[in-house]
């Protein structure tokens, strides 16, 4: 089976799974741009949400998102599945339904077999079809480093748009997937991860958030986001800031991939972990009292992570029960929302 050459995987080790430009850098850049205003733009560049939402009518709004990155696993087919699931997740996090997708491809066509790209696209197409969406085209460029992802358009009712800005004091916080994909991807590249750990990480990243989004639509969800490159701490902090609340996390309740903590203790962390921790730590209460390995796990940059959901505390147990009963086995209540210390994270 064709594998990703080590030379083409350097960005994964340097930046972590699905590494992104840091939130501080992005905020500094975006604040100087004349983004403009439009009353139909329900979510856009002024927020840290997972997709843009534009109202077309009183009954329909477009959800638009895109994401692409360098390989995080060796197998091209698995890479395609993971990258597509990751891109589709932005629509689910906004409460929407994917409708169409377009491929984004960077590939060294002169030096690598075409079959390799074919396997990537086949994996991505499988996930597009699983989501009930349609591939309508794409764009490719020749590039010495492989990158792949999707631009996705979805639909949502304007009154049912979910953002990261609606969390309310008294809510419970639910996470639908385990974390640890960043560290697992890093140790896989070093040949230190077990076959079982590799398989679990791949299937976790390749799993759509479709089922979780469908189930949560039956509850009074106040806010939602998905966990990707900024890690659990980074995305929880974005929700806290946007909502004007404090989010308290219970680290011992956060689901993690098998072997993730043990692998962290080897010291082989993705660079994204350091960047996330450095940025978030100034707004985290109780950070120093937490095991350093757990600090790294909470900061671990994720690829195609789960949904982070804020909803009334009384509804959270039923949501988790519904999720676990219908094939989202790692869903857990991992925190609560408080009105004190707005724009911060607390760790208990």
Domains 6-160 and 171-347 share a fold: no
For residue 42 the two structure tokens come to 């329900």
> Could you read off the pLDDT of 159-216 as tens digits, one per residue?
999 999 999 999 999 999 999 999 988 887 777 778 888 899 999 999 999 999 999 9
* Averaged pLDDT of the chain: 90
Give the separation between CA 331 and CA 50, rounded to whole angstroms: 20
Q: What is the CATH number of domain 171-347?
A: 3.90.650.10
Local structure of 99: helix, strand or coil: strand
CATH architecture of 6-160: 2-Layer Sandwich (3.30)
Among the ranges given (15-29, 58-72, 83-97, 292-306), the one the predictor scored with the smallest mean pLDDT: 15-29
Our separate counts of H helices and E strands in the chain read 12, 13
Q: Is the CB of residue 81 less than 8 Å from the CB of residue 117?
A: no
Where in the sequence numbering do the catalytic residues fall? 17
Dihedral (CA of 9, 113, 124, 122) sign:
negative
Among the ranges given (14-23, 158-167, 285-294), the one the predictor scored with the smallest mean pLDDT: 14-23
pLDDT score at 79: 96
Domain boundaries, the chain: 6-160, 171-347
Residue 64: other Cβ atoms inside 10 A: 18
Among the ranges given (29-38, 193-202, 333-342), the one the predictor scored with the smallest mean pLDDT: 29-38
pLDDT score at 22: 60
Residues 6+ positions from 61 with CB-CB distance below 8 Å: 42, 53, 54, 55, 155, 156, 157, 158, 161
> Could you read off the pLDDT of 259-276 as tens digits, one per residue?
899 889 888 888 889 899
> Could you read off the pLDDT of 294-328 as tens digits, one per residue?
999 999 999 999 999 999 999 999 999 999 999 99
- Nearest CA among 268, 337, 251, 280 for reference residue 16: 268
- Please state the pTM of the whole predicted model: 0.89
Residue entry with tokens 């066509």: 109
User: Is residue 126's pLDDT more than 70?
Assistant: yes
- Nearest CA among 160, 129, 205, 146 for reference residue 61: 160
């Amino acid at each position: 089976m064709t594998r990703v050459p080590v030379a083409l995987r350097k960005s994964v080790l340097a930046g972590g799974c699905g590494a992104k430009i840091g939130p501080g850098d992005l905020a500094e850049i975006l604040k100087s741009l004349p983004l403009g205003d439009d009353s139909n733009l329900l979510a856009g560049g002024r927020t840290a949400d997972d997709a843009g939402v534009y109202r077309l009518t009183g009954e329909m709004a477009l959800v638009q998102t895109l994401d692409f990155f360098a390989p995080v696993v060796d197998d091209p087919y698995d890479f395609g599945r993971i990258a597509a699931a990751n891109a589709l997740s932005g629509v689910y996090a906004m409460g929407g339904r994917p409708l169409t997708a377009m491929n984004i491809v960077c590939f060294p066509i002169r030096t690598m077999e075409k079959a390799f790209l074919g396997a990537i696209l086949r994996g991505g197409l499988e996930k597009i079809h699983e989501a009930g969406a349609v591939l309508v085209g794409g764009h490719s460029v020749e590039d010495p480093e492989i990158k792949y992802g999707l631009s996705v358009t979805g639909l949502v009712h304007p009154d049912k748009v979910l953002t990261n800005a609606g969390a309310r004091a008294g809510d419970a916080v639910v996470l639908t997937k385990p974390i640890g994909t960043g560290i697992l991807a890093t140790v896989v590249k070093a040949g230190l991860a077990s076959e079982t750990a590799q398989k679990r990480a791949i299937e976790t990243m390749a799993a759509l958030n479709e089922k979780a989004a469908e189930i949560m639509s039956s509850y009074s969800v106040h806010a939602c986001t998905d966990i990707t490159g900024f890690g659990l701490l980074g995305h929880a902090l974005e929700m806290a800031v946007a909502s004007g609340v404090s989010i308290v996390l219970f680290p011992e309740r956060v689901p993690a991939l098998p072997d993730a903590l043990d692998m962290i203790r080897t010291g082989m962390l993705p660079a994204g972990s350091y960047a996330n921790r450095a940025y978030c730590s100034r707004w985290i209460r109780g950070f120093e009292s937490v095991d350093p390995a757990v600090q790294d796990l909470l900061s671990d940059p994720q690829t195609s992570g789960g949904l982070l959901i804020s909803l009334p505390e009384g509804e959270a147990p039923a949501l988790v029960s519904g999720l676990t009963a219908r094939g989202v086995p790692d869903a857990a209540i991992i925190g609560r929302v408080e009105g004190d210390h707005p724009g911060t994270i607390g760790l208990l």
